[in-house]
Amino acid sequence: MRKTIFLLLAIAVLALPAAGKKPKSVNETNENPFLTEYKTKYNIPPFDKIKYEHYLPALEQGIAQHNQEIEMIASARQTPTFENTVLALDNSGEVFNKVCLVFMALNESDATPEMQKIAEKFLPMMTAHNDEIYMNDGLFSRIKMVYNNADQMGLDNVQKRLVEKYYKKFVRKGALLTPEQKAELMQINQREAELELAFGKNVMHEMSENVIYVTDASQLSGLSQEVIDGAAELAKQRGHEGWAFTASAATRLAVLNDADNRELREKMYKMYTSTASHGDEWDNSKNINEILKLRQRKANLLGFETYADYACDAVMAKTVENAEDLLMQIWRPAIKKVDEEVADMQRYANAHGADFQLEPWDYYYYANKVKAERYSFSEDEIRPYFELNSVVQNGIFYVANKLYGITFTEIKDAPKYNPEVTVYDVKDANGKHLAVFMTDYFPRPTKAQGAWMSVFNTSYNYNGVVERPIVYNVGSFNPPTKDTPSLLSIDQVETVFHEFGHALHGMLTQVAYRGLEGTNIDRDMVEMPSQINEHWMLVPEVLRNYARHYKTGEVIPQALVDKLIESSKFNQGFMTTELVGAALLDIEWHKINWCGDIDVKAFERSVAKRLHMPKIIEYRYRSPYFKHIFNSEEYSCGYYTYLWAQVLEADGWERFQEEGPMNVNVANDYRRYILEAGDSEDPMELYKKFRGREPDASALLRLRGLE
């Protein structure tokens, strides 16, 4: 998952003093790191100097400075041009963006009680400031003039793209509304930001505080010693005897996949799927209802019948019907495949003494049993070959070096926001600095669940001024224990490769302007680089390079390699159905014309029934913890874009298969037209330049074995 922060503007070259205030001197500001130039290598934020008390004053100063910059652009007497209007806007807001990028990153990766308290003030202020800019009549009138006269101004295609992008964004943010409508929209955005914050806070609380305690060692049968040791340590930390399990991804999947005790699996499944949907204090049902009502009203104000229409209009799908049509092309063969998978598992369960019909908490467990029987290997057999450091150094870095010539060198003395972070200097084949890359791979009680990529600094290259990005990947993988390093499941290896695909998109960007660089591109294109990067995980040359036994250094046996590749399409019905189901649920929520409150659980059941969703499968994310769509607007009515991007991924990967997965010529085209190009051109046009034609949607069915 990509979590780029969609602020209005990127980091400015220069910041002007706040309007109506005396500019602060260096002596007055040097105690707040955000208010001075970073004096670190590659402008890495000086995390060791940043304290809780710095965020809000820096945000206030950043907003004040940014307001003056905006006023100077909006009230300028000169005829609007690309340079004095659009480019000036693109380059404004240095302090504002510095503090926002750091705060948003740490509020996800280290959401201490202090950070959560700051967030209650920080996020509404940030939202209000962005609204004020988008609804500035003087600024919009100048952007509109440049937009209407782009051809006469002799702008090149990339400049026109940036102008068009800002114009459309302003319109979608309310620039054409009446003053009364703008005021209402600002109130909607403020309230929505508050509710999204509350939604995420509830999920984080539930994930960290809901615990299963086990005191009978026999209930741990089937779990790896690594998982058992981690559970014992967690119980000790919480002052309990025995073992403790939370619903964090690594622990939850370990229990559902491996625990022989059916009761433990059921407890874990029910604890996870009831996250933030019970009790009064932490139930997200009210938040969901109010968020969706606000989004519906916002869409109506902006001229759309539903929020779904508003969301789809701005991306490659263009219409809700197009998005649903793609999903249903995948849904029908996926649920048919599920029936076959469940039948196989039920036969296995019956043959091994089960006297029950399989339930959702049995699915992972018996899928693994069938997989082990069919392909003669298990997760326990392969996990010792997937040591995290080797996956990184000899896996993702190896591929990047072979395909693109780039290298990664650890900067041991670099500032870090947490001791577990590793920082790398990324250089191109010619030795030139490309980016800073950070990894943060282990769970913490204050870290949000999941995995993502974002940035601490964006890229810029105009008139001799060059800035390179600072990119980071975050995950929640199995931490090392006293006896073993961090050993990954095959799914976790896939996540490492996935998020690194986003990172490459951010690090290799070569677009001149911040508004078009890197991952600042349509949602339905942005997931392609991450998903296509997953494929190198199982390329034999790559697999043999990183998959080495953590004790002996033995390269993974060829027999296991063959089995991994053969089994790569196993269980695709289930995986596809839970993903498509969540995407369809997301769309259904946002198609509603709201007139009253809706029972969240009843609505989910009605959607599942209408879709003929297999009983044994749950949505990948149930609504009360569906953070993609309710913790922010980034993927609201846009979760389907993962599937849209998978069509591009599957079709694009077929070119690598045809010409060779390690073919440097293909990689050069991919780097040029996809990884470097950002949003400098229409995404479909860029894709066609790489592929030579439009994507073939059936490639996804071929890839997943669903034809």
Q: Which residues are catalytic?
A: 499
* Structure-token pair, residue 694: 């439009």
Residues 6+ apart with CB under 8 A from 534: 494, 497, 498, 501
CA–chain centroid gap for 628, Å, is 8
Amino acid in position 483: D
- Cα distance between residue 185 and residue 329, in whole Å: 36
Contact criterion met (CB below 8 Å) for 287 and 280:
no
Residues 6+ apart with CB under 8 A from 572: 334, 337, 704, 705, 706
- Cα distance between residue 534 and residue 525, in whole Å: 16
Long-range contacts of 336-339 (CB under 8 A, 24+ apart): 336/573, 337/572, 337/573, 337/576, 337/577, 337/705, 337/706, 338/573, 338/574, 338/577, 338/614, 338/616, 338/617, 339/573, 339/614
- Cα distance between residue 198 and residue 285, in whole Å: 11
C-alpha torsion 50→56→60→66, nearest 10: 50
Cα radius of gyration rounded to whole Å, the chain: 25
State the DSSP code for 219: G
* Structure-token pair, residue 274: 């009831």
Amino acid in position 612: H
- Cα distance between residue 139 and residue 192, in whole Å: 25
Shortest CA distance to 235 belongs to which of 219, 215, 264, 255? 215
Q: 3-state class of 574 per DSSP?
A: helix
Contact criterion met (CB below 8 Å) for 676 and 508:
yes
Shortest CA distance to 132 belongs to which of 53, 54, 189, 79? 189
- Cα distance between residue 314 and residue 521, in whole Å: 11
Beta bridge mates, 454:
472
- Cα distance between residue 8 and residue 14, in whole Å: 17
Residues 6+ apart with CB under 8 A from 628: 1, 586, 621, 634, 635, 636, 639
Element spanning 465, H or E: strand 465-467
In the block, which residue shows the tokens 């652009």? Answer: 73
**SS3 letters across 466-511:** EECCEEEEECCCCCCCCCCCCECCHHHHHHHHHHHHHHHHHHCCCC
- Cα distance between residue 12 and residue 94, in whole Å: 4
- Cα distance between residue 544 and residue 568, in whole Å: 16
Residues 6+ apart with CB under 8 A from 16: 65, 68, 69, 72
Residues 6+ apart with CB under 8 A from 94: 11, 12, 13, 14, 15, 62, 65
**SS3 letters across 373-403:** HHHCCCHHHHHHHCEHHHHHHHHHHHHHHHH
- Most distant CA pair in the chain, distance: 83
Residue 195 sits at φ, ψ, to 5 deg, of -70, -40
